[in-house]
Amino acid sequence: MAKTKIAYFCQSCGFESPKWLGKCPSCQQWNTFVEEIIEKSNGSVPDWKATSSTTQQRANKPVEIPDIVFSEEQRMLTPDKEFNRVLGGGIVAGSLVLIGGEPGIGKSTLMLQLALSMPNLKILYISGEESEKQIKMRAERLDPSEKQEPQATNHEPKINFNSEIKHPKSEFGKGCYILTETSTQNIFKQIEQLQPDLVVVDSIQTLHSSHIESTPGSVSQVRECTAELLRFAKESSTPVFLIGHITKDGMIAGPKILEHMVDTVLQFEGDRHHVYRILRAVKNRFGSASELGIYEMLGEGLREVSNPSEILLSQRDEPLSGITISATLEGMRPMLIETQALVSTSAYGTPQRTATGFDTRRMNMLLAVLEKRCGFKLGAKDVFLNITGGIRVEDPAIDLGLAAAIISSHEDIPIPFKTCFAGEIGLSGEIRAVNRVEQRIAEAQKLGFEQIFISKYNLPSGGKDKKRIDLTRYAIEVRTVGNIEEVFGLLFG
């Protein structure tokens, strides 16, 4: 009999050690090593047949860049435009995509809704957490044909617990196959028989391989199962989606190497007690890693939000102080967001500085600029900032809108309606130029705003002739400013 191999793995980064260590030499974390039993397998993973007959053998020799034959990768478009945007234009054949998020945020609903929306493809949905009946109940909730008004009756229906409820068989969900299995060897046997066009695994922490004797969810099991699915995806050109759990710190559970192995990492964010969800690309080898998609969680599933500016702007009947509209960019998408500020007298010795959806250190920098360059006494004031809609913004172009909201709350003077801002504030109080300002102006004009404040140093995107932006082609009034004192003079007199 083969000798049992015991190794110690770091639960934080996946570092392997033959003996227990108190401190991980890779990630410098303490008390993260756990003991796992490993058994080397004599068998090899079956050779997968490529779905394309034009697949060529990769030459094991150096090749010059001009000699490399490049062709556009074939992408699989889904009916979900937000999902296509985050992936970079669609699903790439043979890609391995990891989706992480908090419990109950809607990861399984998103992937099941995706599988049900493409009846022309053969999709295998593998679940290690739910039974077939549970998935069937969720599928019926997502079925648009099941939305029927309840009929009012005077008598309560009689319930027969010994009979099964039979529903008429519909075409909804055709092409979507459900497999409740956790063994990778059994999963690959079913994949060989079914030959699916797309595979969804819910979740990677529930799978286990017979090549490793440790428990499911351990570092070695997650790494081995992901490696087998990666080999299958690349050799068969079948896209595979993995749903992953997260830790209490918000990181994807398992070794850090899991994120390095996959092609794309998507983060499903949002508060599960609110209706809006954000699908953000953290890593993407086939597109931009700064795209995001916005969804609305409804009773019948997730609805894509095509115009996020409308949901991020509140409808107010009267002007209120401390509220401004800022033009920001998320990936290639311009959005108008509502920035709120509240400045009040501190009741304690140390003033409070709290920011929701914005970097607190940058907020402290803006407060220092306002006090040093403009003379506003904010050192003894409590300052609270909030980005509405539950999103987090890192674009420095909202600095001007936040500064205007802070002064508006401090002076208790509301900002005029239909006014938005797009500018970065420097330490000397100057308004710096922001990138792709034309898209920000066009978005504000589309939503009916009357004026927008931008930096006078802005140049057109990619303009090498140093010409200023042509302001005559916009119906909205574009007001160019050079420093923060000029902005406050135009707003508050």
325 and 415 part of one domain = yes
Could you tell me the pLDDT band of residue 5, with boundaries at 50, 70 and 90? confident
Could you tell me the pLDDT band of residue 231, with boundaries at 50, 70 and 90? very high
318 and 256 part of one domain = no
pLDDT at 67: 82
375 and 316 part of one domain = yes
pLDDT at 343: 95
Q: For 120-148, write each residue's pLDDT tens digit.
A: 999 999 999 899 999 999 888 887 765 54
287 and 375 part of one domain = no
pLDDT at 50: 34
Residue 169 — φ and ψ, nearest 5°?
-75, 125
Tell me whether residue 426 is annotated as binding. no
pLDDT at 264: 95
214 and 252 part of one domain = yes
pLDDT over 80 at 196, yes or no: yes
Q: How many domains does the chain have?
A: 3
Is 57 inside any structural domain? no
Tell me whether residue 106 is annotated as binding. yes
295 and 316 part of one domain = no
Averaged pLDDT score across all residues of the chain = 83
Q: Taking a C-beta distance cutoff of 8 angstroms, is the pair 394, 424 a contact?
A: no
CA angle 115, 116, 122 (to 5 degrees): 60
Percentage of the chain beyond pLDDT 90 is 43
302 and 317 part of one domain = no
DSSP 77: -
Distance CA 493, CA 466 (A): 32
Tell me whether residue 169 is annotated as binding. no
Q: Taking a C-beta distance cutoff of 8 angstroms, is the pair 198, 123 a contact?
A: yes
Percentage of the chain beyond pLDDT 70 is 84
pLDDT over 80 at 151, yes or no: no
Is 67 inside any structural domain? no
Q: For 80-118, write each residue's pLDDT tens digit.
A: 999 999 998 899 999 999 999 888 888 999 999 999 999
Tell me whether residue 40 is annotated as binding. no
Query: Token pair of 74, please?
Result: 């074939």
Among residues 111, 105, 117, which one has the least CA distance to residue 276? 105
Highest mean pLDDT, choosing among 238-252, 258-272, 416-430: 416-430
Is 374 inside any structural domain? yes
Could you tell me the pLDDT band of residue 479, with boundaries at 50, 70 and 90? very high
Strands (E), 1-84: 5-10, 16-17, 33-38, 75-76
Distance CA 372, CA 365 (A): 11
418 and 438 part of one domain = yes
Could you tell me the pLDDT band of residue 150, with boundaries at 50, 70 and 90? very low
DSSP 67: G
Please, which contacts does 426-431 make with residues 24 or more away whose CB atoms are closer than 8 Å? 426/369, 427/365, 427/369, 428/373, 429/369, 429/372, 429/373, 429/374, 429/483, 429/484, 429/485, 430/482, 430/483, 430/484, 431/400, 431/455, 431/456, 431/457, 431/481, 431/482, 431/483, 431/484, 431/487
Distance CA 123, CA 96 (A): 15
pLDDT over 50 at 1, yes or no: no
Containing domain of residue 30, as a range?
5-38
Tell me whether residue 103 is annotated as binding. yes
* Average pLDDT of the residues in 236-259: 83
Tell me whether residue 101 is annotated as binding. yes
Is 322 inside any structural domain? yes
Tell me whether residue 19 is annotated as binding. no
Q: Taking a C-beta distance cutoff of 8 angstroms, is the pair 357, 335 a contact?
A: no
Which residue carries 């967001």 as its tokens? Answer: 337
- Pick the last residue of a domain from 276, 306, 336: 306
Q: Taking a C-beta distance cutoff of 8 angstroms, is the pair 81, 89 a contact?
A: no
CATH of the domain at 220: 3.40.50.300
271 and 195 part of one domain = yes
Distance CA 382, CA 423 (A): 24
Strands 424-425 and 431-432: what pairing? antiparallel
Distance CA 15, CA 314 (A): 48
112 and 223 part of one domain = yes
Distance CA 441, CA 472 (A): 12
Distance CA 98, CA 256 (A): 12
Q: Taking a C-beta distance cutoff of 8 angstroms, is the pair 96, 263 a contact?
A: yes
Could you tell me the pLDDT band of residue 39, with boundaries at 50, 70 and 90? low
pLDDT at 166: 44
- Pick the last residue of a domain from 252, 282, 306: 306
Is 152 inside any structural domain? no
pLDDT at 41: 47
Could you tell me the pLDDT band of residue 403, with boundaries at 50, 70 and 90? very high
Q: What residues form DSSP beta bridges with 265?
A: 98, 283
Q: Taking a C-beta distance cutoff of 8 angstroms, is the pair 90, 76 a contact?
A: yes
CATH of the domain at 318: 3.30.230.10
Q: For 264-320, write each residue's pLDDT tens digit.
A: 999 998 776 677 888 989 999 998 888 888 898 888 888 888 888 877 777 676 788
pLDDT at 52: 36
Sequence-distant (≥ 6) Cβ neighbours of residue 351 within 8 angstroms: 379, 380, 381, 382, 383
CA distances from 421 to 274, 458, 473, 493 (A): 27, 13, 19, 17
CA distances from 479 to 142, 234, 268, 315, 441 (A): 48, 53, 37, 24, 11
Which residue carries 């796992």 as its tokens? Answer: 36
CA angle 320, 326, 328 (to 5 degrees): 155
Is 326 inside any structural domain? yes
Q: For 360-371, write each residue's pLDDT tens digit.
A: 999 999 999 999
Q: What residues form DSSP beta bridges with 425?
A: 431
Q: For 169-192, write each residue's pLDDT tens digit.
A: 556 778 899 999 999 999 999 999
- The predicted model scores a pTM of 0.74
Q: For 70-87, write each residue's pLDDT tens digit.
A: 776 778 999 999 999 999
DSSP 80-132: -HHHHHHHTSSEETT-EEEEEE-TTSSHHHHHHHHHHT-TTS-EEEEESSS-H
- Pick the last residue of a domain from 306, 322, 345: 306
299 and 343 part of one domain = no
Residue type for position 346: S
Is 62 inside any structural domain? no
Among residues 242, 246, 232, 263, which one has the least CA distance to residue 200? 242
DSSP 212: B
Please, which contacts does 165-171 make with residues 24 or more away whose CB atoms are closer than 8 Å? 167/140, 170/143, 170/145, 171/119
Tell me whether residue 105 is annotated as binding. yes
pLDDT at 429: 92
Sequence-distant (≥ 6) Cβ neighbours of residue 41 within 8 angstroms: 210, 211
27 and 100 part of one domain = no
Is 167 inside any structural domain? no
